[in-house]
């Protein structure tokens, strides 16, 4: 099983990524504000299924890759570090868009809400890179089954993402109103997330090869 330090570091990355605006957050917020918190939570159910799909694909794929390809961890480590730096830049770049600038959406039924949440997540490149490039950095073959470590780390990410996104979906209207009156809070959040992601990228890139 992953050691406590690796699990905590991965949880911090997962938290930083879920708080960095992306397709999932923008869709859920827009849906919640346009159609109400219940619609946002139903959409989040589809997002959750997408996470489970990626987690299982990555868990079995990473297990096979580690066994077959020397230095695979190094290639994934640098790819993951570069992507974290990209996310950090997206968070702090001038003119960065707030996810609370709502896109008005038509009212849809529960089935379509769920499917749209699922498709938004499956087509989200941030989620794919999280599982294929970042998750392997925190797996230690000497700590036991790679498959079980992958599932545990993936489950940790899903739990964090669903908790944060559920809170955002329920409070989207209030948060949007708050930020509309205090735009400086959004700038602070963006710079905090950018700093955390950049720091994690440097740590990942400079970590000694296993």
More confident residue, 52 or 88: 52
Count other Cβ atoms within 10 Å, centred on residue 177: 11
Q: Give how far the C-alpha of residue 27 lies from the chain's centroid of Cα atoms, to the nearest Å.
A: 14
pLDDT at 180: 58
More confident residue, 98 or 109: 109
Residue range 93-118: mean pLDDT, rounded? 73
- pLDDT of residue 119 exceeding 80, the answer is yes
More confident residue, 90 or 151: 151
Closest CA to 87 of 165, 170, 4, 22: 22
95 φψ region: left (φ > 0), alpha (ψ -120 to 50), beta (else): left
- pLDDT of residue 102 exceeding 80, the answer is no
- pLDDT of residue 202 exceeding 70, the answer is yes
The whole domain housing 168 covers 4-206
**Degrees to nearest 5, angle at CA 177 with 175 and 183:** 85
First to last CA, the chain: 16
Instruction: Tell me the pLDDT tens digit for each residue of 8-49.
Output: 888 888 888 787 777 788 788 878 877 888 888 999 999 999
User: Encoding tokens for residue 5?
Assistant: 């330090």
More confident residue, 177 or 7: 7
- pLDDT of residue 199 exceeding 70, the answer is yes
Backbone φ and ψ of 179, nearest 5°: -70, -30
Virtual CA dihedral for 78, 64, 157, 5, nearest 10 degrees?
-70
Share of residues in the chain with pLDDT > 90 (%)? 12
- pLDDT of residue 162 exceeding 80, the answer is yes
- pLDDT of residue 140 exceeding 80, the answer is no
Share of residues in the chain with pLDDT > 70 (%)? 65
- If one counts the domains in the chain, the total is 1
> Where residue 75 falls among pLDDT bands split at 50, 70, 90?
low
């Amino acid at each position: 099983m992953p050691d406590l330090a690796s699990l905590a570091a991965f949880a911090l990355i997962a938290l930083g990524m879920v708080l960095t605006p992306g397709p999932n957050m923008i869709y859920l917020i827009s849906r919640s504000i346009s159609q109400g918190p219940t619609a946002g939570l139903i959409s989040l159910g589809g997002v959750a299924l997408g996470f489970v799909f990626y987690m299982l694909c990555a868990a079995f794929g990473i297990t096979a890759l580690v066994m077959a390809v020397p230095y695979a961890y190094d290639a994934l480590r640098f790819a993951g570090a570069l992507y974290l730096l990209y996310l950090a830049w997206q968070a702090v770049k001038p003119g960065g868009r707030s996810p609370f600038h709502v896109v008005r959406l038509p009212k849809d039924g529960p089935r379509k809400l769920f499917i749209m949440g699922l498709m938004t997540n499956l087509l989200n490149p941030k989620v794919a890179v999280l599982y294929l490039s970042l998750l392997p950095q925190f797996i230690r073959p000497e700590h036991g089954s790679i498959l079980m470590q992958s599932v545990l780390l993936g489950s940790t990410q899903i739990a964090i993402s669903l908790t944060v996104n559920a809170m955002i979906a329920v409070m989207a209207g209030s948060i949007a109103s708050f930020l509309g009156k205090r735009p400086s809070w959004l700038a602070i959040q963006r710079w905090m997330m950018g700093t955390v992601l950049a720091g994690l990228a440097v740590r990942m890139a400079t970590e000694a090869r296993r």
